[in-house]
Amino acid sequence: MALVEVDAVWKTYPRRAGLRTEEHTVVEDVSLTIEPGETLGLVGESGSGKTTVARMILGLVAPSRGSVRVDGLDIARASRSELRRLRRQMQPVFQDPYAALNPRMKVLDIVTEPLAIHGIAKRPAFRAKAVELLRQVGLDESALGRHPHEFSGGQRQRINIARALALRPQLLILDEPVSALDVSVGAQIVNLLRSLQREHRLTYLFISHSMPLVRYLSTRIAVMERGRLVESGEAEALCAHPRQPYTQQLLAATPELPLPA
């Protein structure tokens, strides 16, 4: 069974048009699935609706039409306790690693906050848990007592990833996780994501405007253009034989990151 099933989903927002308000469609009839253990790459230019799809999967935005199922549960109909369980299973990592971190909190509290919120572990165990999480992302315990501003962008994104892993989720929703980083730092984060996926059998939704990056990481690729899914398929087949001119255009982009072969 697919871990995520997005079925004929639409999202419209009201928009002022003179004296009237009209519906503005930002996601139109999108269907996709994400299978356990795979990386689905979602690619498209700015404003194509990628983040809106991600937010609907996370249950942060309600679809105007259609349904989203995660692990067989319809997010819109799930009970509070079911939603709580789903929230543990999927964790987001966003583009701006600084905005996502509370500047007043220490790293120890940042990475263990999900454990506290979900009542998973007891306080005395937090320090050891935090050290373990930091180790997984290539940081050590010297980070525990420091605040986000004391770290570089790449290190901050590592802290975000550590926090996302705290609840042992199955699925990471990675929304442009390296777009705000310098190229060499971004490449390191990409490789960290690859090894974490192998180690923890994680499933990824990897969102980016960069086709070379999506191609490097994905099992399958879905291409969005102006709210619609215009093409999808196995990553290598889709890149070898793109059907849509839009996909061809995205493929012609030069890699922004030094990606290993």
Ligand X SMILES: Nc1ncnc2c1ncn2[C@@H]1O[C@H](COP(=O)(O)OP(=O)(O)OP(=O)(O)O)[C@@H](O)[C@H]1O
Residues forming contacts to ligand X in the complex (CB under 6 A) are: 13, 26, 44, 46-52, 209
Q: Are 53 and 6 in contact (CB under 8 A)?
A: yes
Q: Which is nearer to ligand X, 44 or 63 (CB)?
A: 44
Partner interacting with residue 254 (select from Mg ion, ligand X, none; CB below 5-8 Å by kind): none
Q: Which is nearer to Mg ion, 82 or 96 (CB)?
A: 96
Partner interacting with residue 69 (select from ligand X, Mg ion, none; CB below 5-8 Å by kind): none
Q: Which of residues 22-51 bind Mg ion (CB under 5 A)?
A: 51
Taking the C-alpha atoms of 51, 57, 58 and 63 in order, what is their torsion angle to the nearest 10 degrees? Answer: 80
What minimum distance in Å lies between the beta carbon of 222 and ligand X? 12
What minimum distance in Å lies between the beta carbon of 260 and ligand X? 25
What minimum distance in Å lies between the beta carbon of 34 and Mg ion? 17
CB half-sphere exposure, 252, CA atoms < 13 A: 6
CB burial of residue 254 (10 Å; 0-12, 13-18, 19+): exposed
Spatial neighbors of 86 by CB under 8 A, at least 6 apart, are 59, 70, 71, 73, 75, 78
What minimum distance in Å lies between the beta carbon of 50 and ligand X? 4
Element (H, E) at 203: strand 203-208
Q: Which is nearer to ligand X, 61 or 235 (CB)?
A: 61
DSSP 8-state class, residue 87:
H
> What is the DSSP secondary-structure string of 124-178?
HHHHHHHHHHHHHTT--GGGTT--GGGS-HHHHHHHHHHHHHTT--SEEEEESTT
Partner interacting with residue 245 (select from ligand X, Mg ion, none; CB below 5-8 Å by kind): none
Partner interacting with residue 52 (select from Mg ion, ligand X, none; CB below 5-8 Å by kind): ligand X
Among 62, 60, 23, 71, which Cα is nearest to 170's?
A: 71
Partner interacting with residue 169 (select from Mg ion, ligand X, none; CB below 5-8 Å by kind): none
Residue nearest to Mg ion (CB): 51
What minimum distance in Å lies between the beta carbon of 191 and ligand X? 23
Total interface residues for Mg ion by CB under 5 A: 1
| Residue ranges binding Mg ion (CB under 5 A) | 51
